[in-house]
Structure 1
Amino acid sequence: AVSSLLTPFFLGAAAGGVASGRVTADAQPATHAWAHPTPVLFGLLAVAVTALLGAVFLAADARRFDAPDLDGYFRRRALAALGFVSALALTTLAVTHEDAQHVWHGLTHGAGLAFVVVAALSTLATAWLLIRPSGAWSRVTAVGVVASAVIAWGMAQRPYLVPASLTVAEAAGAHTTLRWLGLVTLVAVALITPAVVLLYWLDTHGELEGLTDADLRSSASDEG
C-alpha cells in the first residue's frame, strides 16, 4: 500500500520538477528542484489519478461479476477520487501561473487548452456514468480524463522538453537512431496491440475464468 502511494507521487513530482523548469540538463542534484508547489501538486495529482482509475476499473469488474455491493463501494470511491483529481487539477493550474508560466500559458492557449477542455468534459461524463449503476463506459471516460490531461501537459510544454532551457529537437538522438527506433516501435505495436486487445476482450467477456473442480473432473473423464 505504501509503495502504491510513493511510486505515483514521485513520478508526478519528477514530472512537476521538469514542468517548472527547475530540473535542467546541467542542474546539480538538490532539493531546490522538488521542494516547490508544482512538483508536490503533480505528485498528489498522480496519486489521485491512480486511485481514480483503480476504483473505476474495480467497479466495472464488480458489475461484471454481479456484485452490486462492491460496485457501489468502488463507485463511491471513484467519485471521491474524481473530486480530488478535479480540485487538484484546478489548484495546479492556478499555481503554474506563477511557478511554471510557460506551462500555464500552454494550458490556457491553443492545443493545450483544447485538451484541457476535453479532460473537463471527460470528467463530467465520468461523474455522470459513476452515478448510474450501469455506467459501463466509465472506464473509457476515466481513461479519457487521464490521457487528455497528459496530452494537454505535453502540448503546453512544446517545443520544450524542459521549459525554456531544452527543446525536444535539442534533446533528440541521431536521425538514424530515431528512424530505427521508430521502425522497431511500429513493428512492436503491430505485433503486440492485437494480442493485448484480444486478451482484454476475452477477460472482460468472461472467457478467461478459472476452471472449477467440476470442469477439471469433466476434462479428466473426457481424456479417459
Structure 2
Amino acid sequence: MIKNKEVNTKHIDKASLTSWTKESIVNEVFAPVLNLTAEQSMNVLESIVACIKGSLVMEHSVLIPRAGTLVVSHKSERPGRNPKTGEPHKISSRNVVTLAKKGRGKTCRINRSDMFALVYLEQPNVDQKQIDLAVRAFYQLIADVKQGEHRIEIRDFGSFTPVISGERMGRNPKTGEKVIVSERMGMHFQHSRQLRSMVNQYM
C-alpha cells in the first residue's frame, strides 16, 4: 500500500552515466558555440560557478530553468547515530544547499538574466552574446540531467545526479482528491565540502 507523501527514491548506477566535468563541458559544450579559446571558455565557466556559489552564500536562491532552484536551507540540531558504530550522537545545526522545485520563502531569487549580468561583471572582456550562450548552455546541461543519461560533477561546487522517484500518493491540486503519482525521473544536487563550508561560514 502506498502511503501519502511516501517517496521511494533510487539513484542510478554512476557507471551507466556520462560524467561531465569542467574540462569536458568546456571542450564539448562551450567550444562548439562560444568561439573562444579553451582558457577563455574555462574562465567563463568558472565565473558562472563562482557567481552561483556567491549568490548562495548571500542566501539568494538560484533559479535554473526546467531543473529547479538551488536554495540554502537551515537544519536544526537533531539526534542521530554514528553509521559505523550505531552509537547515538547529536548532529549539529547547519546550512545545506538543495535543489528545490520552487524557491522558498522571501529570499531574493537570481534568475538567468541576473546570472548573465553577474558573470559579465566578472568577464567584461568577453562579448555579452557569448556569455549569454554560455549561461544558457550550462543551465541546459543541468536541466538535461533529468533525462537520466548523464551527471555533472564540478569540483568545489557539487554534483547533479539523476534519480528515480517511485510511485507515491499525491493530491489533485484542483479537487484535493488523492491520486497515484507515477514513477518519474528527477534530479539530486549534492554540494561539495567547500560549498558547505562557505554557506556555513557566517551562521
Q: Is TM > 0.5 for Structure 1 vs Structure 2?
A: no
Q: Return the structure number with greater relative CO, CA threshold 8 A, min gap 6.
A: 2
TM bin, normalised by shorter chain, reads under 0.3
> So what's the TM-score if we normalise by structure 2?
0.25
